[in-house]
Each structure stands twice: as structure tokens, then as C-alpha cells.
Structure 1
Amino acid sequence: MDRSNGSLEKNSKTSDDRETKEVNSTAQKFVHFSEEEEDLVFRMHRLIGNRWELIAGRIPGRTAEEIEMFWAIKHQDK
């Protein structure tokens, strides 16, 4: 598992030596946001930054930890 950049992915090789990435089960749990939720997270983050509790308060059923994990996963390669 590569933790050098905060990634939750593990690199592995396929039988033809192509490298694939596997996201651990914790990360997969948080990846599934609706398009409306994603849009709201991005707009709120632009306004208030990394204030995950405030952002989560605007999205029913989401916790600050879920929002932060979503953000980290979306921005891990940038």
C-alpha cells in the first residue's frame, strides 16, 4: 500500500505485467457520492475550505469523515 502521498491504493501487477490499483474497502465505502453531493462538496470547499463538519452539515446522512475521505480520494493524484 502506497502511503507516501496519503493514497489508500495498493499497486499490483496483472499476468501481462500491467499495473493495476486496488482501493481498500474503507475507501470504496466513501467513493459513492451522488452528482449533487459532489457538486455541493466542491462548491462548499471553495467557500470555506477544509471545514468538513460544516460541509457535512449541509449533506443529510454524510459525516465529516466521509466528506474528508471523499475529498482525499478525489484529489490524491493532483
Structure 2
Amino acid sequence: MADSEQSSTEDHTVDSQEVTSEKLKHDFSEDEETLIRRMYDLLGERWHLIAGRIPGRTAEEIEKYWKAIYSISE
């Protein structure tokens, strides 16, 4: 019984990480995601400059989004 409790706890941790990434992904529109990727290719990690091109977004939001989505694949 302890084994089943432990595995469900581990599964819950993985699920919450996936949910966090999915939630961040859904907080940005496809146009915003595309613009962030293009601007990142041009400017690198200059989050404040990228945020200046996306009304209503802060540099911190964009950096957090980028690291949540793209640091997993690196």
C-alpha cells in the first residue's frame, strides 16, 4: 500500500509540472509565441526589449514563459 501511495504522489508531481507548462503556454496567444521566438532569435535574452513589442506583457512574464517552455527541451 505504501508503494501505491508513493507512486501516486510522484505522478501528481509530474502532472502539476506539466499543468504549469500547459497553463503558461495557454496564457500566450499563438501570435505572441511566434513573436517571442522570432524576437529571441534576433535579440537573445533581452526580455525587456521583447516585452516592449507585446502590449500588456512584462519582461518577467516572457522570461518565465520562455524558461518554462524551452528550457525543458534544451
**TM-score (structure 2 length as normaliser):** 0.69
Q: How much has 1:30 moved relative to structure 2?
A: 4.2
Residues 1:19 and 2:14 aligned together: no
Q: Paired residue for 1:33? A: 28
Report the AA paired with residue 69 of structure 1: K
Query: Could you say what secondary structure the match of 2:55 adopts?
Result: coil
Q: CA deviation at 1:36?
A: 0.2
TM-score by length of 1: 0.66
Point out the structure with the larger strand share.
Answer: 1
Cα separation, 2, equivalents of 1:46 and 1:58: 14
Sequence identity (%) = 48
| Structure richer in helix, relative to its length | 2
Q: In angstroms, what is the RMSD of aligned CA positions?
A: 3.1
| Residue 77 of structure 1: how far off its partner (Å) | 1.6
Distance in 2, matches of 1:54 and 1:75, equals 19
Unpaired runs of at least 5, structure 2: 1-5
Aligned 1:1-78 pairs, distance under 5 A: 13-14=7-8, 19-20=11-12, 21=14, 22-23=16-17, 30-31=24-25, 32-78=27-73
Off by >2 Å, runs of 4+ in structure 1? 12-15, 26-31
Counterpart of 1:76 in structure 2: which amino acid?
A: S
* Partners of 2:35 and 2:11 in 1: CA distance: 33
List gaps (5 residues or longer) in structure 1: 1-11
Alignment length, in residue pairs? 65
